[in-house]
Chains A and B, each alone.
Chain A
Amino acid sequence: MSDTTTIDPDLRQQVVDTICELLPRVLKREVSGASETTTLMDDLGMSSTTGLELVLELEDKLEREISVEDMGRDNFETVGSLADYVAGNLLPEE
């Protein structure tokens, strides 16, 4: 469970926005009304591998590497929970 108190809220918001931007690309269809409470698997029908594609797209977009070692199903629950995870698990920039 990532410690949200140490996450930069601006970074987190940037990740939320980027996720919402990337959803149509990853799901290969129109996605409307996505927000941080949107549930990835239930609302959007995202599969485990598509979820990882999203993480990879995020890495490309944010130009940062994300450590997935501690990632579990619960991190993929909502756009917000994923943003929490990503923002808390960016590898230090080189």
Chain B
Amino acid sequence: MTALVAIGTYVPPDRVPIESLADEFELTPMQLRVFRRYHKLGSAAHAPSLSLTELLGLAVADLRLTVEQAARIRYVLYARTFPGVVPYPLNPLHEVCRSFGLQHASAFAVGHHACASGLLAVDLAGRLLASAPPDALALVLTGEKAFTGEARFVPETSMFGEGAAACLVAASGPRDRQLSYVASLRGEFDGELEEVAGEFQRIYHDALGAAVTSAVSSAGLSLSDIALILPHNVNVVAWQRVCKRIGYPLDRVLLDHVADYGHVFCADAFLNHRTAVARGLLQPGDHYVIAAAGAGRGATFSAMVFSH
């Protein structure tokens, strides 16, 4: 059973408040009030002086990999919300691998699941490790730069924050074991966001709720067995509505970072996991859900159940 071994994170100290997006995205004072009051969008993490390579590198550095661990890493998977983020043929993934002496690993990007690509990467890492030597490890990298308007703000929905996470994965382990994974691909939402927005909004909470309940039942559990949901930091209203749909208490969804980090692309789950552990919100044996949804010319709703 795929297990998370360790999580390294980097969230920069600077913040951009949502008000700073008003001009670029033509947000009215009333809209800003709605975002702050209901969506709990406040500010997003910002690293203006760091390149993408540096951002990812800081998360890997936070892992404090031993030489022995680094040698055991056979795969490095980079999960991104945005498929294209740097000029071709630049390759931050391989630059980071070189910096950390990981040239012996097979490194590649996986995605097209928008913000749910991180869950895909964990699942794929586990699949590869299942037929590798038992002490083999994989590294899942997440995090991006808010380099363009679309990567700064999703109309009516969320602010992206800059940050990164590096998650070390093994084929088995004593904790944070993956019990299930559900990915619901909704390719009918291929099209510019404005065109599909109405219908997408209509199905969003149902689809995300369904992914969560499906992952939970796949794991042979019921919602009452789930101690915590680690969400994607899209906004609080979305999760309020999902919880209402599926009958899960909102106060067991870790939404604290919506207001201070923003939506850190595919890294939210890992940043939230860090916080959950630091706050003692997860005890050994607790079951928790990681869930995320994304859109961007194609929508995906995914969830995974773990045992801590």
Are A47 and B201 touching (Cβ within 8 A)? Answer: yes
> Within 8 Å CB of A30, what residues of B?
none
> Within 8 Å CB of B38, what residues of A?
52, 55-56, 68
> Within 8 Å CB of B201, what residues of A?
47-48
Cβ of B193 within 8 Å of any chain A Cβ, yes or no, is no
- Name the interface size band of chain A: 10 to 19
> Within 8 Å CB of B30, what residues of A?
53, 56-57
> Within 8 Å CB of A57, what residues of B?
30
Cβ of A91 within 8 Å of any chain B Cβ, yes or no, is no
Mark out the residues of chain A between 16 and 54 whose CB falls within 8 Å of any chain B CB in the assembled complex. 47-49, 52-53
Q: Which stretch from A2-10, A69-77, A79-87 is at the chain B interface? A: A69-77
Least distance between A28 CB and chain B CB atoms (Å): 9
Are A49 and B241 touching (Cβ within 8 A)? Answer: no
CA–CA, A49 and B201, complex, Å: 10
> Within 8 Å CB of B205, what residues of A?
73
Are B33 and A56 touching (Cβ within 8 A)? Answer: yes
> Within 8 Å CB of A52, what residues of B?
34, 38-39, 237
CA–CA, A55 and B33, complex, Å: 11
> Within 8 Å CB of B37, what residues of A?
56
Report which A residues bind B (CB closer than 8 A): 47-49, 52-53, 55-57, 68-73
Nearest opposing residue in chain B for A72, CB measure: B244
Identify which of B156, B202, B240 contacts A49 (C-beta below 8 A).
Answer: B156
> Within 8 Å CB of A72, what residues of B?
241, 244-245
> Within 8 Å CB of B240, what residues of A?
68-69, 71
> Within 8 Å CB of B31, what residues of A?
49, 53
Identify which of B34, B202, B237, B245 contacts A56 (C-beta below 8 A).
Answer: B34
Since A49-B31, A49-B156, A57-B30 are in contact, a sample of 20 more A-B pairs with Cβ atoms closer than 8 Å, ordered by chain A residue number, is: A47-B156, A47-B198, A47-B201, A48-B156, A48-B237, A49-B34, A52-B34, A52-B38, A53-B30, A53-B31, A56-B30, A56-B34, A56-B37, A68-B240, A69-B240, A69-B250, A71-B240, A72-B241, A72-B244, A72-B245
CA–CA, A15 and B79, complex, Å: 48
